[in-house]
Structure 1
Amino acid sequence: MAGVFCLGIATLDYVYSVETMPTRGEKYRSKGLVVVGGGCAGNASVAIARLGSRCWLATRLADDLTGDKIAADLAAEGVETAFARRVAGLRSPVSAILVDAEGERMVISYSDPDMPVATDWLPQRLPEGAGAVLADTRWGEGALAALALARSAGLPGVLDADRKPPHPDLVGMASHVAFSQQALRELSGEDDPRLGLQKVSRDATTWLAVTLGKEGVLFVEDGTIAHIPAFKVETVDTLGAGDVWHGAFALGLAEGQGERQAIRFASAAAAIKCTRFGGRAGAPTRPEIEAFLEANR
């Protein structure tokens, strides 16, 4: 079974369950708390590992207790962390996250601004068994290097563009780009995601999509905008759902699935995650996805 080489951010998340989002500078009480690993690439790599495939994560962490916890949690999930760089004297990424009764989340994150951007420590070729690359936008230089490895190997290179890509060559270097609605709006200047996708795709050779949460996925197919709706579930927590989607989508491509099949596979993974509180703690296993897809044929 093909694996996925991931590159990007891994964090430690403090996830608080609240009835409603705070609107004033007062004291509020949380109904629940989960301390769990997070981050776009961190969550995606765990999702891939839970689906029974190999996953390598290249990420930048400080040589601190938080970094120890992040790395240990990833390893416990089966993610291979030999490419995690530890930097002395800095602080590892952390987030404080509020999840309300509707499952929506508010994220306050911190990443050390002094984290080195150099890519000279990254591998010169992909690990044996890697069938795709997945990169997020938190470290543009690293994402560009990882996607270049995928291109040179003739493998899918997926960009999780949940923010506007920080490097002008990132979209073109990837074989597949899935935007968040916010990132697509920032890049295209269009509020309507269909118009935004049309605008960005005019001169693009890269496969492009935008994920819209409960509204499903829009993507470019044969020069037109196609749509695959999301699965309807009882939403408990949307935190990490997009990351799980990207991990499952990249894995689907690595395994030889076509884009439509990979979207449906990824959307099932994200839907199941949304029914569970605690960020990536709710990422499903492959048997769970298979049973879910069978029940939603």
Structure 2
Amino acid sequence: MISVLCLGIATQDHVYGVPGFPTTGEKHRAHSVEIVGGGIAANASVAVARLGGRALLASRLGEDSTGRNIIEALEAEGVDCSLCRRFPGLKSSSSAVLVDGAGERMVINYADPGIPDDPSWLPADLPRGVQSVMADTRWQAGALRMFGAARAAGAFGVLDGDRAPENRELLSAATHLVFAMQAAREMTGHDDALQAIRAFPAPDHVSLAITDGVRGTYLRQGREIIVTPAFPVTAVDTLGAGDVFHGAFAYALAAGMDELQAIRFSSATAAIKCTRFGGRAGAPRLAEVEAFLRERA
């Protein structure tokens, strides 16, 4: 079985559907609401599980009711949470999310500043059978530890760069960097994805891709830049789409796909998710992704 370890943040999201984002300090009405699990690494782990893979999650939570709900929801999806640690007296991460009529989202997240950064309780070696590690930037010390374990085991290490990491060692510790355009702009100062990927300070031995929403994904291979167009869909909710993309990308690499194949597979997985409301609840099954790709062959 394809096995992926996801490491980073897990949250509980309250997702409100609104006609547009509020601009005034008064009461506003939502036309729909969903209470769902969220967080980059957690969403990626659910994407892996729904694609039929063995998904493991390493995350830090508080020993509170929110943390219990987060774990229960993940385990219901088939995610192995044995590497999640809950800390007494601390609060688990939670978010208020607004989704407007165009499917765009606004996220207000709380993360307890007392959550310990020390990753020494994580295993020194990859869990048996894991072929790929996907980490976000929310726990960089943990990501460095498990990327090191991945390299030692000959496995893949995928960094979800939704924002510029403070620890630049991550850029060389991973085998694959997949950055959102906003973070690439922070890293390079360029607003254009083509200019950003050319200027991005990634080592030569690391694969680099930049996702730019409806404009597609840019992949740098040596001096060549390859653009994979996004699949056109009518977006209902983009919440979690990037997380689902990264989980699917780590899964695809572990399944033996090359970078271009993995990007197309991940783009299809994220596109389907965008057509469904409720964050990661819209992550598709493998059969749905395969049918989607066949229809667009």
Contact conserved, 1:172 with 1:204, CA < 8 A, in 2?
Answer: no
CA drift at 1:124: 1.4
CA drift at 1:85: 0.5
SS in 2 for 1:196: helix
Name the residue aligned to 1:227: 227
Amino acid at match of 1:68: R
Name the residue aligned to 1:13: 13
CA drift at 1:125: 1.1
SS in 2 for 1:60: strand
Distance 2:55 2:288 in 1: 19
| TM-score, normalised by the number of residues in structure 2 | 0.98
Distance 1:55 1:276 in 2: 22
Structure 2: gaps spanning 5 or more residues: none
Amino acid at match of 1:117: D
Amino acid at match of 2:293: L
SS in 2 for 1:70: helix
Pairing of 1:1-297 with structure 2 (within 5 A): 1-201=1-201, 203-297=203-297
SS in 2 for 1:171: helix
Root-mean-square deviation over aligned CA pairs: 0.9
Moved more, 34-43 or 126-135: 126-135
Distance 1:173 1:254 in 2: 18
Where do 4+ consecutive residues of structure 1 move more than 2 Å? Answer: 201-205
SS in 2 for 1:82: strand
Distance 1:45 1:124 in 2: 21
Amino acid at match of 2:196: G
Contact conserved, 1:45 with 1:56, CA < 8 A, in 2?
Answer: yes
CA drift at 1:166: 2.0
Deviations 1:196-228 (A, max 9, x none): 111115753210011111111001023121100
Contact conserved, 2:4 with 2:250, CA < 8 A, in 1?
Answer: yes
Distance 1:21 1:288 in 2: 32
Contact conserved, 1:201 with 1:208, CA < 8 A, in 2?
Answer: no
Structure 1 residues 117 and 201 mapped into 2: Cα distance closer, same or farther (>3 Å)?
Answer: closer
| TM-score, normalised by the number of residues in structure 1 | 0.98
Distance 2:32 2:166 in 1: 35
Deviations 1:226-256 (A, max 9, x none): 1000001111000000000000000000111
Distance 1:222 1:141 in 2: 29
Amino acid at match of 2:123: P
Distance 2:223 2:87 in 1: 45
Contact conserved, 2:172 with 2:202, CA < 8 A, in 1?
Answer: no
Structure 1: gaps spanning 5 or more residues: none
- Count of paired positions: 297
Distance 1:203 1:144 in 2: 16
